[in-house]
């Protein structure tokens, strides 16, 4: 990492545990001086400086999600989406093995999530700096865009923090004297901040997509910065997690009705994750995940999709044919099923596939679930809406209409559809099981079946990740149970 880190106040970085970032492979996180310092004035004075600064936040997010240490893989192993096989090379870099993650044997000393907490708070720090300094700049052409992006990214970072760690520290400034004594608080407070931030983002962002300089771009493959609809899509997701069904339905509805977005047609479902897909609302770089399971890659993949996930696909599901592939496990000599949503990208060649930070299929499933919940509360007219949205996803996958006809049956059917539609994306499965109250039962079943013999022991406190020893020493309370 660049030496600029050494100029920041040590108390703040001690809180965030950013010493862990010494192993970052890419230098995404070059930051300006603390926002309350004289040196900060020039860092936010022009659009050409702020755009790349926020791009660094997006890079940090991508880095926390993809690759062998990313949340996409680790949370899939932690839940019931993937099965781990011991890799003899895994311990060479001091990281917990896939089997340790799979068997829920992560600790504050050897935690699989040690990069998530500092990287996500680093994003929050960038956003706080923008929110503190940009309003005072008089020469910016795209002030609203930068503020809207900062509110959006702060909300997204807190979404991941809450769903990985439970209680979080709410930090809304760059004042290190204040931040060093901030305690962890219940998720409800973080969700309140997320909703407030996203409503601000909606009021500030343009419906158009912008580039790093703040100018409008119309290219389908340039949806790499949030627009107003991305903020509404994330608000729909957050509202679903907080049980605000009407707000979830309203925001998902507005996104779905925007003609720039469309589900990838059934005939070309294999192209859903291409950079030109109209299904993307917000996208990112997926190179590391594309290469994680590529054919002929080294080392060859050893972790595989779980039998319970594979059995959840219905016969003739086009997602099974197009988003899953088989390969040889070089450790066991057996054929295994692997994620194949993101195809291999040749280094030096144009990027073909993109990582879906937000995509339209999720919005259909959000609107369907919110409608089913509203129908359960007495809004009978929403029942047909839920069925229609669920069938839109099923039809695209080559499946027949749902047989679910009651709100409760629909909620079960939607959860199942989310599993087969959103697997190996964004930790959706783990987060869905927790928010629907099914996590303990599913993990207990896993302990008795696929994890039998691994020494895995599920206890409710393991629904959240522990802080590292470094973070805990900084004065933060450890995640309860660890």
For residue range 257-273, what is the model confidence (pLDDT) as tens digits?
999 999 999 999 999 99
Dihedral, 361, 362, 363, 367 alpha carbons, nearest 10: 110
Residue 198 falls within a domain, yes or no? no
What pLDDT digit, counting tens, does each position of 107-151 carry?
888 777 778 998 999 999 999 999 999 999 999 999 999 999 999
Q: Please report whether residue 332 resides in a domain.
A: yes
Q: Do the domain assignments include residue 305?
A: yes
> What CA–CA distance (Å, rounded) separates 374 from 243?
10
- Which domain does 317 fall in, by range? 287-354
Q: Helix, strand, coil: what percent of the chain each, to 5?
A: 50, 5, 40
> pLDDT per residue over 290-321, tens digit each?
777 776 666 677 789 999 999 999 999 999 99
Start-to-end Cα distance in the chain = 31
Q: What is the pTM of this model?
A: 0.90
335: helix, strand or coil: strand
Q: Token pair 């010493």 is at which residue?
A: 19
Residue 285 phi/psi, 5-degree rounding, is: -80, 125
Average pLDDT over residues 13-37: 39
Mean pLDDT of 364-376: 98
Indicate whether 298 belongs to any domain: yes
Please report whether residue 394 resides in a domain: no
pLDDT tier, 346 (very low <50, low <70, confident <90, very high otherwise): low
Cα distance between residue 70 and residue 72, in whole Å: 6
**How is 68-116 classified by DSSP, letter by letter?**
TTSHHHHHHHHTTSEE----TTGGGGTPPPHHHHHTT---SSS-TTTTH
Strand partners, 282: 358
Q: Kindly state whether residue 86 falls inside one of the protein's structural domains.
A: no
Token pair listed for 230? 């991305």
Is the per-residue pLDDT at 82 higher than 60? Answer: yes
Q: Which long-range contacts (CB under 8 A, 24 or more apart) does 191-196 make?
A: 191/162, 191/238, 191/241, 191/242, 193/154, 193/155, 193/158, 194/155, 194/158, 194/159, 194/238, 195/155, 195/235, 195/238, 195/239, 195/242
- What's the Cα-to-Cα distance from 265 to each of 247, 278, 478, rounded to whole Å? 28, 10, 47
Contacts of 259 (CB under 8 A, 6+ apart): none
Confidence label for 67 from pLDDT (cuts 50, 70 and 90):
confident
What is the mean predicted confidence (pLDDT) over 382-399?
98
21-30, 149-158, 175-184, 449-458, range with the lowest pLDDT: 21-30
- Contact predicate 288/351, CB 8 Å: no
Of 181-190, 231-240, 405-414, 430-439, least confident by mean pLDDT is 181-190
315 in a domain, yes or no?
A: yes
Angle between helices 428-435 and 228-241 (to 10 degrees): 40
Q: What is the pLDDT of residue 298?
A: 64
Split into its structural domains, the chain has a count of 1
What pLDDT is recorded for position 297? 62
> Do residues 60 and 28 make contact, with C-beta atoms less than 8 angstroms apart?
yes
Of residues 334 and 267, the one with the higher pLDDT is 267
Question: Residue 402: inside a domain, yes or no?
Answer: no
Question: Contact, 451 vs 436, CB < 8 A?
Answer: no
Query: Percentage of residues in the chain with pLDDT exceeding 70?
Result: 85
């Amino acid at each position: 990492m660049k030496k600029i880190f050494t100029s920041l106040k040590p108390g703040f970085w001690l809180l965030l545990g950013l010493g862990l970032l010494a192993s970052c492979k890419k230098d995404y996180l070059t930051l300006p001086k603390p926002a309350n310092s004289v040196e900060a004035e020039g860092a936010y004075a022009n659009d050409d400086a702020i755009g790349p600064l926020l791009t660094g936040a997006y890079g940090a997010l991508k880095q926390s999600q993809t690759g062998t240490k990313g949340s996409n893989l680790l949370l899939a192993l932690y839940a019931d989406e993937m099965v781990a096989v011991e890799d003899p090379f895994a311990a060479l870099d001091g990281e917990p093995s896939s089997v340790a993650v799979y068997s829920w044997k992560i600790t504050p000393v050897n935690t699989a999530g040690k990069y998530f907490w500092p990287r996500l708070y680093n994003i929050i720090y960038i956003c706080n700096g923008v929110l503190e300094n940009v309003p005072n700049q008089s020469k910016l052409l795209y002030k609203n865009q930068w503020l809207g992006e900062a509110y959006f990214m702060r909300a997204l970072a807190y979404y991941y923090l809450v769903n990985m760690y439970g209680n979080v520290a709410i930090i809304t400034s760059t004042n290190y004297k204040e931040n060093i004594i901030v305690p962890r608080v219940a998720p409800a407070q973080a969700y309140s901040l997320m909703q407030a931030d996203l409503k601000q983002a909606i009021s500030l962002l343009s419906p158009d997509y912008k580039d790093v300089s703040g100018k409008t771009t119309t290219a389908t493959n340039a949806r790499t910065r949030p627009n107003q609809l991305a903020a509404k899509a994330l608000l729909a997701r957050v509202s679903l997690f907080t049980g605000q069904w009407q707000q979830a339905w309203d925001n998902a509805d507005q996104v779905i009705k925007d003609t720039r977005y469309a589900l990838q047609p059934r005939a070309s479902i294999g192209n859903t994750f291409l950079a030109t897909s109209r299904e993307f609302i917000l996208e990112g770089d997926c190179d590391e995940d594309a290469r994680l399971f590529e054919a002929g890659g080294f080392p060859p993949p050893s972790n595989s999709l779980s039998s319970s996930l594979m059995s959840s696909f219905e016969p003739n599901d086009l997602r099974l044919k197009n988003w899953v592939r088989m390969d040889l496990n070089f450790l066991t000599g057996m054929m295994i099923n692997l994620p194949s949503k993101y195809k291999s990208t040749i280094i030096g060649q144009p990027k073909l596939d993109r990582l879906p930070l937000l995509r339209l299929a999720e919005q259909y499933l959000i609107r369907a679930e919110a409608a089913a919940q509203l129908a359960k509360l007495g809004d009978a007219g929403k029942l047909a809406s839920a069925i229609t949205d669920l069938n839109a996803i099923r039809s695209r996958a080559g499946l027949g209409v749902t047989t679910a006809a009651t709100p409760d049956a629909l909620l079960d059917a939607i959860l199942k559809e989310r599993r087969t539609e959103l697997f190996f994306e964004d930790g959706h499965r783990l987060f869905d099981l927790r928010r629907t109250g099914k996590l303990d039962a599913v993990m207990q079943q896993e302990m008795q079946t696929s994890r039998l013999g691994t020494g895995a022991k599920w206890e409710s406190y393991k629904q959240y990740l522990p802080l590292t020893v470094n973070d805990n020493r900084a004065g933060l309370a450890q995640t309860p149970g660890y």
